[in-house]
Amino acid sequence: MRIVHLCQSYPPMISGASLSVQQLASGQAANGHQVLVLSASDQAKGYTTKSGNLQITRLPSHHNPYRIGQRFLLWPQRAVWVELLRFKPDVIHLHEAFGLGLIGLQAAQRLQIPVVFTAHQLPWFAAAYMPKVLGLPQLVEAITWQYARWFLRHCTAVIAPTQTIAQIIQQRLHQPVQVVNYGLNQQQFRPMPTEPSEYIRLCGKYGLDPDLPVVLHVGRLDVEKQVDLLLHAVAQVKKQMLVQFLVIGDGCQRQSLLQLSQDLGIAEYCHFPGYVLPDGDLPGLYRLASVFITASQIETFGIVVLEAMACGLPVIAVNATCMPELVHDHQNGLLVPPNDSAAMAQQLVWLLQNPEIAARWGETSWQMAQRYGASRMNQEMLAVYTAVYHPNSSPQIMPVL
């Protein structure tokens, strides 16, 4: 099968969606399918790389002022058409609904081939960036839902990464949705260290005290991730016991979070090393932590939560969106009410003071993470493609606009 993925970001630009697309594209190519990825370039100019059955064409892009390390495409209609006509796909898989997604939808209709869409984000993501004045976030979210209603009606199949997100879409838009969970490289993210000295080496490299527990957060340092709430929680924990807070990632709020740690009097216990490569130190940093925490309320899956679980960590998360699908309260972690730093702090103290329970929950996390292998995700997605693909149809090749 000849498969095209259209996505705004692709590694080395990192997000949950880009990592998911990378897993799909590389897995499909390894299984003998011809795969083309069209995405924004991680630099201003475009370029193409090819390895075996996988071609990655990165189109000329623009700096994204709202996302550190991310770039975006405006309206690359001609460039997309050139690549699609050259590649002659059997199915187009869209990973966003605006811009590039709309171009892909139009192309699929004209070529008379099926189009699959994965909802990596919901309208609340855009609303989270809106100024909270005059009901603007609510207005933006309402308009985006209306657009989504129109867009999804024109897709052959709609995919959600979790059952929770599928139910939200079905309830809001009355649109059939299939669930295909994200997958994970389980050889990379695992409880066993790659070397006996990993713990001491990473503690030294990242300035951590090997005798103090490490509370870990991984993710973008942007407003919707609510890392400020985690800092307030850690400040409350510090009144009862000494801990270290390791914050992996970068974003527009980095400087304000550093300042907040100073204001709360916990700066010497907080470490902000920036972005860490998944195929570098990141798995080892998960392994040296005592617990993983997140306060985000907008997740459609939570790939960093799954990575932490696969490395054998208990998780404390807010009881919102899809988090209960990964974090089972008092089984592999704890769920706390949203926007409640006091509850987060209380549960952190309790879990850190009960290391035997934390270890048992970490083992359960690892067992649960085994359900989310990359090969399973590829098999389920291929079944979706096969169900919508009709090889005897006659595509209508249209001129490039």
| pLDDT tens across the length of the chain (401 residues) | 999 999 999 999 999 999 999 999 999 999 999 999 999 999 999 999 999 999 999 999 999 988 888 999 989 999 999 999 999 999 999 999 999 999 999 999 999 999 999 999 998 776 666 677 778 888 888 999 999 999 999 999 999 999 999 999 999 999 999 999 999 999 999 999 999 999 999 999 999 999 999 999 999 999 999 999 999 999 999 999 999 999 999 999 999 999 999 999 999 999 999 999 999 999 999 999 999 999 999 999 999 999 999 999 999 999 999 999 999 999 999 999 999 999 999 999 999 999 999 999 999 999 999 999 999 999 999 999 999 998 765 444 433 33
Report whether 322 contacts 210 (CB < 8 A): no
Burial of 68: CB neighbours in 10 Å, binned 0-12, 13-18, 19+: middle
The CATH class, in words, for 2-183+374-388 is: alpha beta
Please state the domain extents for the chain: 2-183+374-388, 198-369
d(CA 284, CA 250): 19
Structure tokens at 386: 């096969």
Cα-based distances in Å from 57 to 37, 82, 158, 399: 6, 11, 24, 21
pTM of structure: 0.93
d(CA 156, CA 66): 32
d(CA 244, CA 209): 8
| Residue 6 phi, psi (nearest 5) | -110, 120
CATH for the 198-369 domain, from 3.40.50.720, 3.40.50.2000, 1.20.1630.10, 3.50.70.10: 3.40.50.2000
Q: Do domains 2-183+374-388 and 198-369 have the same CATH topology?
A: yes
Q: List CB contacts of 312: < 8 A, sequence separation 6 or more.
A: 190, 191, 287, 362, 363, 365, 366
Edge-first strand order for the sheet with 157-160 is: 47-51, 54-59, 34-40, 2-7, 91-94, 115-118, 157-160, 178-179
Residues in the chain: 401
d(CA 189, CA 362): 13
d(CA 237, CA 230): 10
Q: How much is the pLDDT for 397?
A: 40
Please report which residue ranges of 75-222 form alpha helices under DSSP H: 77-87, 100-111, 124-127, 136-153, 163-173, 198-205
Which residue shows structure tokens 């099926």?
114
Helix (H) or strand (E) holding 308: helix 303-310
Of 367, 363, 350, nearest to 314 by C-alpha is 363
b (16+ CB within 10 A) / e for 271-297: bbbebbebeebbbbbbbbbbbbbbbbb
Report whether 377 contacts 178 (CB < 8 A): no
End-to-end CA distance of the chain: 26
Q: How much is the pLDDT for 395?
A: 43
Report whether 260 contacts 228 (CB < 8 A): yes
Amino acid identity at 342: A
Beta-bridge partner residues of 267: none
Question: Is-cis flag, bond preceding 210, omega within 30?
Answer: no
d(CA 132, CA 134): 7
